[in-house]
Amino acid sequence: MKLTPTPGQTVGPFFGYALPFAGGEDLVDRTHPDAVRLHGTVYDGDGVPVPDAIVELWQPDQRGVIPQEPGSLHRDGYTFTGWGRAAVDATGHYSFTTMEPGSTGDGVAPYFLLTVFARGLMDRLFTRAYLPEAAAAVDQDRLLSSVSEERRGTLLATRDADGGLRFDIHLQGELETVFLTYPNTPQFTGPQG
């Protein structure tokens, strides 16, 4: 049986009291010896920060193991669930406290998976934030090597002076982030421009 998926709709502006939850942006405690900050700003097509976006994070642990531990909505301070949710602030900035992901297999550079929602964005967008080191080994990663050189940089986080990772998201414009679609995922139709 093949069913047609339910269409997506915008998350709207008023998710703030519903989706964010205490500790949602902290996959590990900030005192964890391997804690790293993954953060960035969500921009619209004019390069203006989007103040009503929300970003979800999903990642393997440092060894590349995919967590299947429940408990994400009520952080117990110990369990690494691999999942997080962070609303942007008034300046469009999101921030997660997490660990760097490991590779999940041959031909897979380590990356964070991100899902982006925003008022004005009709359906969620998927992307990946690769560690900066992947830039040196693009040929060894299936996805990165399939993205044109001129846009590949939009999938690479940059390293802050303090060791943190910066990953800005551009919904549109010259620096538009490469967003992903998968088999079985309904395709967007209609004029894009």
Partner 1 sequence: MAEKTTDPDAAALSQEEIDAEIAAIHGDYRAQRDAGGVVETNARLNFPPYRSSLLRHPTKSLHHADPEDIELHSPAFGHRDVSPLEADLTLQHNGEPIGERIIVTGRVLDGDGRPVTGQLVEMWQANAAGRYMHKRDQHPAPLDPNFTGVGRALTGPNGEYSFTTIKPAPYPWKNHHNAWRSAHIHFSLFGTDFTQRIVTQMYFPGDPIFDLDPIYQSITDQAARDRLVATYDHSVSQHEWNTGYRWDIVLSGSNRTWAEEDEEH
Examine residue 175 and tell whether it contacts partner 1 (CB under 8 A): no
Instruction: Quickly count: other Cβ atoms within 10 Å of residue 184's Cβ.
Output: 6
Rounded to whole angstroms, how far apart are CA atoms 42 and 54? 9
Q: Which residues contact 186 (CB under 8 A, 6 or more apart)?
A: 5, 7
CB of 161 to partner 1, least distance (A): 29
**Residues in 48-107 that interact with partner 1 by CB under 8 A:** 48, 50, 56, 58-60, 66-74, 81-83, 104-105
Single residue of 91, 120, 158, 159 touching partner 1 by CB under 8 A: 120
Which positions from 129 to 168 touch partner 1 by CB under 8 A, shown as an x/- string? -------------xx--xx---x-----------------
Q: Which of 13, 62, 153, 160 forms a contact with partner 1 (CB under 8 A)? A: 13
Beta bridge partners of 73: none
Residue the block writes with tokens 């990946």: 128
Residue 172 lies near partner 1 (rule: CB under 8 A): yes
8 Å CB contact between 99 and 28: yes
Nearer to partner 1, 116 or 165 (CB): 116
Q: Is 184 near partner 1 (CB under 8 A)?
A: yes
163 versus 175: smaller Cβ distance to partner 1: 175
CB of 40 to partner 1, least distance (A): 16
What span, in angstroms and rounded, lies between the C-alpha atoms of 128 and 101? 12
Of 168, 109, 171, residue with least CA distance to 143: 109
